[in-house]
Amino acid sequence: MRENLVNGIFLDNDRFIDYGYTDIGEHTYSTVSIAINGTGTLVKIADAIREDAGYLPYWPTEKNPEIYDDDCWYNYYIKIDGCFKGKVDRYIEFCVCNSAQDDNECTYYIELTDEEQTAIYERIDQQCREKFEMSCEELLAEAKAELEI
């Protein structure tokens, strides 16, 4: 399921970038959270995480081929963190939206390997250059300046 993860990462054209920061010990690092599209690979991984937690998936699965939560959707976010040079953060965050189940508005995490972090960073960097005419490092610098870190 994860073999297509990196190639399934696309910036969401309709949503925003959010600047923030992370404190680690005595150091403060700028962060940039970016909304990404929910491709088939991401939905399958998110569905598996929700099923493991005891909830119905968004799409039919082997476990739940007949009963699923097709009124819900997932919002996905990935974070670029100034303390991880050349990598995205250790996870992709997703939030369950419009579900009638108890996990509506809950946030889950798709853990990433070191290799996935680096490959996704490169992919996001390329897309940021195309969409915003800024690299990930330039976005982090802009976040740092804007937040006066």
pLDDT for 66? 87
pLDDT for 135? 95
Please compute Rg for the chain using Cα positions: 16
pLDDT for 62? 85
Scan for tokens 């991880």, then name that residue: 84
Q: Which DSSP helix (H) or strand (E) runs through 41?
A: helix 40-52
Please report, for residues 12, 45, 70, 83, the alpha-carbon distance to residue 58 in angstroms, rounded to integers and kept in the order given.
Answer: 19, 11, 5, 34
What is the C-alpha separation between 92 and 121, in angstroms, rounded? Answer: 12
The token pair that represents 89 in the structure block: 């953060």
Write the DSSP assignment of 71-107 as a string of letters.
T-EEEEEEEEETTSTTSEEEEEEEEEES-SSTTTT-E
Instruction: Spell out the per-residue pLDDT of the chain, length 149, in tens.
Output: 677 899 989 998 876 789 999 898 898 999 999 999 989 999 999 999 999 999 999 988 888 788 889 899 999 999 999 988 899 999 999 999 999 999 999 999 999 999 999 999 999 999 999 998 999 999 999 999 998 87
What is the residue extent of each domain of the chain? 2-144
What is the C-alpha separation between 136 and 121, in angstroms, rounded? Answer: 8
pLDDT for 93? 97
User: Would you call 12 exposed, middle or buried from its count of C-beta atoms within 10 A (0-12, 13-18, 19+)?
Assistant: middle
pLDDT for 68? 86
**CA nearest 78: which of 139, 17, 145, 146?**
17
Helix, strand, coil percentages (3-state) for the chain, rounded to 5, are: 35, 30, 40
pLDDT for 53? 96
